[in-house]
């Protein structure tokens, strides 16, 4: 073992691959369970898009969480992993007809609808199946989250959701339709949010909207605040479980939930990020003009977050205890952005060493691509290594 890693076993395996620590995942799920139990009316869905590894999905569905899906494929994966259709919500700005039909056939809990044209299509397709679809409207609260521009979703200029000015109109339109039932409001302001003030800003906005709706005698049974809770990428060992207590208590204190309302959450990153690492082997250590490069067999095709969002993942040499040296850690892909980190301190590194890219359980394996005709990385859970 070095840190959390069973190095002797990992050394024998073909790299690169994702390694998921089941203990960390289960501890995370149990903290969520304990914290949520304090608040009647709180319901947590797992955002499948963060990681749809079938074994991870099964562990999460065993804990009783619902699923937040953004495609027909995710709905299928969730059902296959044991999530009951009645606990599935379906979001996304561009749902295809076949995806809507699939969701109607399964009888999912709710569609999170993002426009009037989409609402019309859901109404028509539900009519054709002789069904009534529950719908919630995704409202764009125009609340900025202090996170990377590519992962904020709640500002007016974003493609997501329905603007607050249009909210009354969509509700009226839906109430005139026979095959949709308006049951809730949905929000999601972004991802990797660590400043609770961002969630407080969302709560304040929802409180205002609720007052306006009540003035119009419109009752909303379900409020869904999306996901977005961030994790500590810098210190994965020190804080392997996100601060769910602070997160849920923020909503409990700030959101004026009515007694008849249910508050839904859609957590992705915070559930799975810290349990996963991308394990890679050092192919070469190369002396450049001014610096040394560690060239890995994993690249941006296996973990795209650094190239896509300049995301930071802690990098560790898990097979060396030698004194620290400084390296640029890069992948083998023919793109200059295929860099995992610059000026990274690692124990002195040689060809054949194993490198772990930490906190890669969310938006890692699931975002892998076959660019350069590379094989997709596999994912292994700690309890299935022999
Ligand atoms: C991506 C997404 C989530 C999950 O976000 P995290 O930051 O991973 O918690 C939740 N809801 C919606 C609508 C999303 O698009």
CATH code, domain carrying 192: 3.20.20.10
pLDDT at position 152, please?
Answer: 59
Q: 140: pLDDT confidence band, cut at 50, 70 and 90?
A: very high
> CA–CA separation, 347 vs 66, rounded Å?
42
Average pLDDT of 47-53? 98
- Report how far ligand 1's centroid is from the alpha carbon of 44 (Å): 12
Q: 142: pLDDT confidence band, cut at 50, 70 and 90?
A: confident
Whether 186 lines ligand 1, by a CB cut-off of 6 Å, is no
| Last residue of one domain, picked from the residues 229, 253, 273 | 273
| Last residue of one domain, picked from the residues 255, 273, 291 | 273
| Residue 285, beta-bridge partner list | 294
Looking at the structure, tell me whether residues 57 and 136 fall in a common domain. Answer: yes
Nearest to 209 by CA among 166, 241, 180: 166
| Last residue of one domain, picked from the residues 240, 273, 306 | 273
Whether 154 lines ligand 1, by a CB cut-off of 6 Å, is no
Whether 365 lines ligand 1, by a CB cut-off of 6 Å, is no
Ligand 1, closest atom to CA 186? Answer: 13
Average pLDDT of 76-102? 98
- Report how far ligand 1's centroid is from the alpha carbon of 174 (Å): 25
pLDDT at position 159, please?
Answer: 74
Does 84 map to a domain?
yes
Average pLDDT of 222-244? 97
Looking at the structure, tell me whether residues 188 and 260 fall in a common domain. Answer: yes
Residue range(s) defining the domain that contains residue 241 = 22-273
Looking at the structure, tell me whether residues 137 and 198 fall in a common domain. Answer: yes
Domain count, the chain: 2
Residue 130 CA neighbour count, 13 Å, CB half: 0
Please say if the pLDDT value at position 155 is more than 90.
Answer: no
Alpha helices in 129-267 (DSSP H): 167-175, 196-215, 244-254
Does 2 map to a domain?
no
Say which residue the tokens 């969302």 belong to: 202
Looking at the structure, tell me whether residues 155 and 279 fall in a common domain. Answer: no
Output the CA torsion sign for 357, 363, 365, 369. Answer: negative
The values of phi and psi at residue 141, to 5°, are: -80, 0
Looking at the structure, tell me whether residues 326 and 366 fall in a common domain. Answer: yes
User: In whole angstroms, how far apart are CA 215 and each of 123, 139, 168, 184, 211?
Assistant: 27, 18, 12, 16, 6
Cis-peptide into 36, omega within 30 deg: no
Looking at the structure, tell me whether residues 126 and 195 fall in a common domain. Answer: yes
Ligand 1, closest atom to CA 192? Answer: 7
Looking at the structure, tell me whether residues 356 and 215 fall in a common domain. Answer: no
């Amino acid at each position: 073992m070095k840190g959390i890693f069973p190095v002797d076993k990992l050394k024998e395996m073909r790299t690169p691959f994702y390694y998921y620590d089941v203990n960390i995942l289960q501890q995370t799920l149990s903290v969520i369970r304990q914290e949520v139990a304090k608040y009647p009316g709180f319901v947590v869905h797992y955002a499948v898009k963060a990681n749809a590894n079938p074994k991870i999905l099964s562990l999460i569905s065993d804990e009783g969480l619902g699923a937040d899906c953004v495609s027909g494929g995710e709905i299928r994966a969730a059902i296959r992993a044991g999530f009951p259709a009645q606990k599935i919500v379906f979001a996304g700005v561009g749902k295809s007809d076949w995806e809507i039909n699939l969701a109607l056939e399964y009888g999912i809990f709710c569609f999170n609808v993002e426009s009037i044209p989409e609402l019309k299509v859901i109404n028509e397709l539900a009519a054709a199946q002789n069904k009534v679809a529950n719908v919630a409207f995704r409202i764009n609260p125009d609340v900025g989250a202090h996170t990377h521009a590519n992962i904020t979703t709640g500002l007016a200029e974003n493609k997501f959701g329905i603007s607050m000015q249009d909210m009354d109109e969509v509700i009226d339109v839906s109430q005139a339709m026979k095959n949709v039932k308006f049951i809730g409001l949905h929000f999601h302001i972004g991802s990797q949010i660590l400043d609770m003030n961002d969630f407080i800003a969302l709560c304040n906005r929802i409180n205002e909207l609720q007052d306006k709706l009540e003035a119009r005698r419109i009752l909303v049974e379900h409020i869904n605040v999306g996901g977005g809770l961030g994790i500590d990428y810098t210190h994965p060992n020190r804080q392997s479980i996100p601060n769910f207590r602070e997160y849920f208590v923020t909503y409990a204190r700030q959101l004026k939930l009515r007694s008849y309302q249910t508050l839904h959450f859609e957590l992705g990153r915070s559930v799975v990020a810290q349990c996963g690492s991308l394990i890679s082997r050092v192919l070469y250590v190369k002396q450049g003009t001014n610096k040394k490069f560690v060239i890995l067999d994993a690249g941006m095709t296996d973990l795209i977050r650094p190239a896509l969002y300049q995301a930071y993942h802690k990098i560790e040499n898990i097979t060396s205890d030698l004194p620290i040296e400084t390296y640029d850690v890069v992948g083998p892909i023919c793109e200059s952005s295929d860099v995992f980190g610059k000026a990274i301190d690692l124990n002195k590194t040689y060809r054949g060493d194993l490198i772990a890219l930490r906190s890669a359980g969310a938006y890692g394996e699931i975002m892998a691509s076959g660019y350069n005709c590379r094989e997709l990385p596999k994912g292994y859970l700690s309890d299935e290594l022999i």
